[in-house]
Amino acid sequence: RERERERESSGEGRETRVKEAMASRVGWMTVAGVLRGNGSVTQGFRLGGSRCLATSATSQSEARLSKAELAKLGPSDFERMTDGEVLDLVKAKVIPSYKLEAVLKDLDRAVMLRRMLVEEESKRPGSLADLAHEGYEYSSVHGACCENVVGYCAIPVGISGPLNIDGEMVHVPMATTEGVLVASTHRGMSALNKCGGVRTMETQAGGMTRAPLVRLPTATEAVAVKNWIEEPQNYVEVAAAFNSTSRFGRLVSITPILAGRNLYLRFRSKTGDAMGMNMVSKGVEEALRCVKQYFPNLEVCSVSGNVCTDKKSSAVNWTMGRGQSVIAEAVLTKNVVESVLKSSVKHVMELNVNKNLIGSAMAGTLGGFNAHAANIVAAIFIATGQDPAQVVESSSCITQFEENEDGSMYCSVSMPSIEVGTVGGGTHLPSQRAALRLLGISGSHTEAPGGNSKKLARVVAASVLAGELSLMSALAAGHLVRAHMEHNRR
């Protein structure tokens, strides 16, 4: 005790005391308590047979155990600790909160302890009570989808359809909190089914893009790099470097774009059934190393120069495409428009011109020539484990309704940048995996790599067409507000 008091008065670092305790330990034992937050030495914690003191004035760097020291604690050691004792270690900065899963080797307990810590630190006890956390497959989350996990958000999933898409009846899962969205999309699908369903087709060579920003000392040198890459034999060499990084990543094209001495190289690549951002980025890095061998002055400023363009609306995606470029089309008879959609061909067609085309042009929209494509895209994305942020560019869409000579209505949606995958990201999570299984496209296509992601893009486009038909008909007939008041109010 006298020795401990001497160390306390001398201000000897806690890290030293921890190491001395470790050196004399017989074995790691239960931590009895660290800090109680009153600024003084109130309790120690016992490591084997030694007792180590800690003060709230101890710096975070001194308080942290090294990786080697933490590694000596096994799951059985933490199993013997109470929840309060583990939380004391977190509060004392001995264990970082974000490392609870790695240290405890018990994912469920780590989530529970972090919830307790957050509620205590925020001074809002019980605030997370309604956030679900039990019974989840956290092994699919840890190290892959989310950090500092405290639970999971349950979003209702409804089914629209089935919809006849290219001759196949497809049930479409939609995760949403917007009342009437699923019902409205389902109504559009019913109308389409009565007229033979939807036809879909790819319009461009699909592929995920990444456009690194490289800089040269002068614009003259930047032009030289551009010209060099455009030479067929040089492109083949760069493509070989790119393709060497993945089994499925295959370079399709490189589009150089100049701005002064800045050079943006828009790589487009096949990525199998993955959405493919990480795959393409990895290939881009290797390709740039190849180019730099011939142009040592080339400086790689960023693997992304915003000409990709990811998670932003852009003209380059609108005109050149990104991911999958799909058109979905159908022809509805006059009778179906009137009996199922409760409107008329003339009114729906006129509204589409004045709202979706002229109105969107007046607003200066970019790729937003539609009524609510993002609604359907977001609902399917969340249900199937896609990146919700990519709804921005994936919902770029122009909706067209035209009257045919026989009085029927031609309808289509053109969507040039649907960014989806059936492997990677959140597609392996339990609920999202179930939605993909329902669509028959979970995981990689066994015979044609990329086939499952292409089908998902077609499902998205066909469902958007159904949603556009239903909403535009409701607007033309003046039924929108009434429907929401009846079905979306409690």
| Residues belonging to the active site | 178, 311, 387, 484
Nearest residue to 95 (alpha-carbon basis) of 87, 105, 107: 87
The token duo for 298 is: 């080339």
Catalogue the long-range contacts made by 277-281 (C-beta closer than 8 Å, 24 or more residues apart).
277/208, 277/210, 277/310, 278/424, 279/208, 279/245, 279/246, 279/248, 279/249, 280/208, 280/209, 280/210, 280/249, 281/210
Name the packing angle between helices 373-384 and 451-477 (round to 10°).
140
CA neighbours closer than 13 Å in the CB half-sphere of residue 5: 2
Bridging pattern class, strands 397-403 and 368-369 = parallel
Contact present, 157 and 185 (Cβ < 8 Å): no
In 10 A of CB 344, how many CB atoms?
A: 17
In three-state secondary structure terms, 222 is helix
- Residue 474 phi/psi, 5-degree rounding, is -65, -40
H-helix or E-strand containing 256?
strand 250-259
CA neighbours closer than 13 Å in the CB half-sphere of residue 153: 7
Nearest residue to 251 (alpha-carbon basis) of 276, 231, 215, 227: 276
Contact present, 414 and 327 (Cβ < 8 Å): yes
d(CA 161, CA 45): 61
Contact present, 174 and 460 (Cβ < 8 Å): no
Helices then strands (H, E): number in the chain? 21, 14
Contact present, 21 and 29 (Cβ < 8 Å): no
The token duo for 490 is: 């409690």
The token duo for 65 is: 């155990």
Name the packing angle between helices 83-91 and 107-121 (round to 10°).
60
d(CA 286, CA 193): 48
DSSP structural state of residue 140:
G
